Amino acid sequence: MPPEVMRKFVEHEIRERQRTERYGKVKPEIAIDFQGYKMVAVGSKLHYSKTWKFFPDFLMNYLPSVFGKEWGQAELARPFQEQHQVVQWRTKCLQFMKKQEKNAQGFYDAVPSGFMAAFLNLAYDLYIVEHNGRFDDDLLARLRHPDQFQGARHELVAEATCLRAGFTIDHEDERDTSKRHAEFTATHKESGQKISVEAKSKHRDGVLGRPGQPEPENEVNLRFGKLINDAIDKNPTHPLVIFLDTNLPPTVAEQVFEPISRDPFVPPPSMKVLDTVRAKHGGKDPYSLVLFTNHPHYYGKEDEPAPTNKTLFVMSQIPKNPPAHPKAIMDLYHAANIYGNIPNTFPENPNE
């Protein structure tokens, strides 16, 4: 092989390794410039615009197209406070960007606010699912419904994280009422390991569209046992992985996610519920992994940078149903830690 050809292969391999390290084991973005349009392929669909300069520009238009034009127009016709969370986020994104100054190249250059981060992460998760798998119609319907949005949003987080970890997704037949079902079954492409995935999100008054007033930060409910037990009670077929969204204000999460010890690892007091769960199940853990997360973007202030994500990875050493391939579980660790990484630029134009 000529040295120049070998060099290009090596460069491509390095770029691909860097891409998967930053964005996970998902398909690369597919975009080309054609007759003044930026054309972006997502799964089997093609999106295009003359105005997209950066990947987030595409995401700002992609999410409304997924939710549907008629749905969006109906929401915009409502008073702002009655609009769906997603519509409010997008409006605040646009208002935030209008306040920013353009850089020397004529582009907006700013650290995303909390509402912008919330909107773009939702759009990117939708993109990851459609580009690497398929949408579940029921999940989309729940995302559009204000009362069901929070749970569906976290299920989408779980699905996108599994895809980034190199899994495929199979949704169970909810029409089968003979048993309770996990959110979905994920299969690790590298090892063939199957896991049952449950996604649980802590509801809080006055947050994510729920009525009422938010709790004072010194009185925030830190009980997660009911959510964990509900996931376990479904008695899934495969090793169980629980994605648990704590939905905490950022300042509270800073304390709640700090372990008592890192070496050896001792979970923080708020996660001691897992000891109770183990005792209830005869000294064995009825799960392989509980992935505690906090993505508090929507807690942020409109003109300040988005609050920081938190992740706590509690992998059982004594699971009742151990995975045959523990690496499949460990791949979720990396995927969870890169959550929030969104490409800024489009891939290089292959025609150039």
Residue that wins the pLDDT comparison between 270 and 246: 246
Residue 243, CA distances (Å) to 61, 70, 208, 331 in order: 28, 32, 18, 14
pLDDT of residue 102: 79
Identify the band that residue 51 occupies on the pLDDT scale cut at 50, 70 and 90: very high
Asked if the model's pLDDT at residue 344 lies above 60, the reply is yes
**Distance (Å, rounded) from C-alpha 105 to C-alpha 49?**
20
Check residue 177 and give its pLDDT: 62
Residue 184, token pair as written in the block? 């979905």
- For the cut 60, the answer to whether the pLDDT of residue 229 exceeds it is yes
DSSP result, 184-219? EEEEETTT--EEEEEEEE---TTSTT-SS-PPPGGG
**Res. 108: pLDDT tops 90:** no
pLDDT of residue 178: 64
Query: What's this model's pTM, rounded to 2 decimal places?
Result: 0.93
The predicted-structure confidence for 273-314, as pLDDT tens digits, reads as follows 999 999 999 999 999 999 999 999 999 988 899 999 999 999
> Is the predicted pLDDT of residue 114 greater than 50, yes or no?
yes
Amino acid, single-letter form, for residue 293: T
Give pLDDT, residue 105: 76
pLDDT tens digits along 320-343: 999 999 999 999 999 999 999 999
Q: How many residues does the chain have?
A: 352
pLDDT per position as a tens digit, 122-180: 999 999 999 998 888 899 999 999 999 999 999 999 999 999 999 999 987 666 666 77
Tell me: pLDDT of 352 over 60: no
- Measured distance CA(352)–CA(344) in Å, rounded: 19
User: From the centroid of its chain, how far is CA 216?
Assistant: 27
Q: How far apart are CA 72 and CA 142, in angstroms?
A: 15
Provide the pLDDT for residue 175.
Answer: 64
Mean pLDDT value across residues 245-258: 94
